[in-house]
Structure 1
Amino acid sequence: MWKKIGIGLIILLAIIAGAVWYLVSNLDSLIKAAIEKYGSAATQTSVTVGGVKLSLGSGAGTISGLSIGNPPGFTSPQALGVGAIMVQLDTSSLPGNGPIVVRTINIAQPQMNYEVIGGVSLTGVSTSSNLLIIQNNVKNYAGRVAAAPPQGGTPARKEIINDLYVTGGEVNLIATTVLHGKKVTVPLPPIHLTNIGRASGGATPAQIASQIINAVTSQAAKTGAAALTQQVKAAAGGALPGNVGGTLKGLLGP
C-alpha cells in the first residue's frame, strides 16, 4: 500500500517538475507571445517581437526587434520600431502574489514614424495622425479591460515600474503634400517615467501598456507636429495661413 502511494507521489512530483521545467525553458517564448497578443489588442495594429531573453537568476532581460504597425490607411510600414529594450527585474518580488517590481526599463534609439493622413496644404490640414489613433486605441483598450468583470482562475499579477527611460529616439515626419517627398527627421526628447503603478499598489499589464505607449506616442506626436508646423510656416513665408495654425494644434495630442 505505502509502496504504491510512494510511487504515485514520485510520479506526481515528476509531472510537476516537468511542468515547471517547461514553463522556465519556454518563458522567453511565452513572454514574446504575450507581448504580441496583448500589444496587438491594445493598439489595434500588428505588434511583433523579434526575440526575448530573460534570466530569472539575475532578473536581466532583453526584448529585441519590437515593432508596432500602423493603423489602416497609412503608408509607412510601422509607427514604431525599437532595436532593443533592456529590462531589470527585482527578483525578490517574483515569489508570492504581490506586484512584480521592474527596477528599470531602457528603450534605446526608438524610430517613430509620425504620419498625417492626407498630408498638409497651405489651406488646410488633416486632424488625424497615426500616433493619435494608436493613443486612442490604447486608451479605449485599457478602459475596456478595467471595466470588464473578473474572469475565473487566478488573476494576473500587477506590476510596478520604478524607472523607464527612452533615449536617443528619432521621429520621421511623413506628410507628402507639404514636404513633397522630402524626409524630415527630428530628435525625440528623452523621456523618463517613474513609479508607474506604485500609487495604486500595482497596475495591470493593460494599464502599464497604456501609460508607456501613451507617453512615448504623445511626445513623438508633439515633436512631429512642431516640426510639421515649422515646415508649413516655411512654405507660407513665415506665417500660418487661415485656420491651419489652430488645426495643427489638434495634432499635438492630449
Structure 2
Amino acid sequence: MKIIAAIIVILLILSGGALWFLAGGSLNDYVKSQIESQGSRITEQSVSVKAVDIKLSSGAGSILGVNLTNPSTYSQKHAFVLDEITLDINLQSLTSSPIIIDAIVIKSPQAFVQFTQAGGSNIQDILDAIERNSPKADQQIADNSNNAEEPKIRVSKLILAGTALTIDLSAFGNKAHSATLADISLTNIGGEAGLPASQLGSAIVKQALAKIWQQAKATQKQKLTDEAKDKLKEKAKKKLTELFG
C-alpha cells in the first residue's frame, strides 16, 4: 500500500474488512487503524485520520481529516492534508471479480511542496520512501501466490478536485507561492481485470503524485522565471535612471 492511495485504497479492502465487520467488529475503526498503520509504514511518515464512515448497505463512504506529515528536515508540518474523501462503491460487483469502485473523489486536498537548493523536495523524499517499501516484481508474484484469495479491485474514476498547492521556494531566496490546480482525473485504475487490493494503492498514488509533481515543477519554473525577469527589468530601469537622471 502506498501513500495517499494507500490511504484511500486501504478502506477498499472489502475482503477482510467486510468479513471482519460481519463478524461483529467495527469496519470504520478497522479502516481507520489500517490507514494509519499501513500509510505510516509505507511513507515512513506519520499518517492520521480523524474519522471514517462507510455505509456498505448504500455503497457509499467517506474519510475525514487525513494528514500526512513531512520528513523532519522540512519546515512545513504536513505534506498533504485531505479534508474529505468520498467513495461510490458498485454494490453489484461485491460478489464478483474485480470489485468495482465507481468513483473516489478527494475534495480540496492541500499539497505542500518544499524544494531544496540541491533540487530535491519533500515530495521526492516521500516517493523515495514509497519505492523502498514497495514489493519488487518477484516479491509481488510470490505474494500473489500466497494470497490467491485476495480480491481484485478496479477504480473507474479518481478525482482530486481543486488541489490547493503551496510551493515553498525560500531555498532559492524566493518565497512561498499558492495556486489551485485544475481537477486531476484518473480513470480505469487497475485495468479491466483489476489489481490485488494490496497493490492498487501504488498504481493510484504513482499516477496522482506524478500529476501533482509535474504541475509543482512547472509552477516552480514559472515563478523563478518571472522573478528573474522582474530583476532584469529593475536593473534596466536603474541603469536608465543612472544614465539619464
> What TM-score, normalized by structure 1, do the two folds share?
0.73
Match of 2:219 in 1: 227
| One-letter amino acid matched to 2:121 | S
Match of 2:22 in 1: 20
- Alpha carbons 1:82, 1:107 under 8 Å: kept: yes
- Alpha carbons 1:186, 1:224 under 8 Å: kept: no
- Alpha carbons 1:179, 1:231 under 8 Å: kept: no
Q: Which has the larger radius of gyration?
A: 1
**Alignment partner of 2:195: what SS?**
coil
- Alpha carbons 1:54, 1:60 under 8 Å: kept: yes
Whole-angstrom distance in 2 between the partners of 1:19 and 1:102: 19
1:193 pairs with 2:186: yes
Whole-angstrom distance in 1 between the partners of 2:221 and 2:21: 57
Q: Which has the higher helix share?
A: 2
Root-mean-square deviation (CA, aligned residues, Å) is 2.7
Shift in Å at residue 152 of structure 1? 5.8
| One-letter amino acid matched to 1:110 | P
- Alpha carbons 2:112, 2:167 under 8 Å: kept: yes
Match of 2:52 in 1: 52
| One-letter amino acid matched to 1:183 | A
Classify 1:19/1:233 alpha carbon distance in 2 versus 1 (closer, same or farther; 3 Å): closer
Match of 1:66 in 2: 66
Higher relative contact order, structure no. (Cα contacts within 8 Å, ≥ 6 residues apart): 2
Q: In percent, how many aligned pairs have the same letter? A: 25
Unaligned ranges ≥5, structure 2: 1-19, 233-245
Match of 1:176 in 2: 170
Paired residues, what number? Answer: 212
- Alpha carbons 1:161, 1:196 under 8 Å: kept: yes
What are the equivalent positions in structure 2 for 1:95-106 lying under 5 Å apart?
95=95, 98-106=97-105
Shift in Å at residue 145 of structure 1? 7.8
Whole-angstrom distance in 2 between the partners of 1:163 and 1:195: 6
> What TM-score, normalized by structure 2, do the two folds share?
0.76
Q: Could you give the per-residue CA deviations for residues 85-133 of structure 1, whole angstroms, max 9, x where no partner exists? A: 110111122236x33211110111000001113xxxxxxx422111122
Q: Could you give the per-residue CA deviations for residues 36-63 of structure 1, whole angstroms, max 9, x where no partner exists? A: 2222222222122111101111110001
- Alpha carbons 1:42, 1:137 under 8 Å: kept: yes
Whole-angstrom distance in 2 between the partners of 1:155 and 1:47: 28
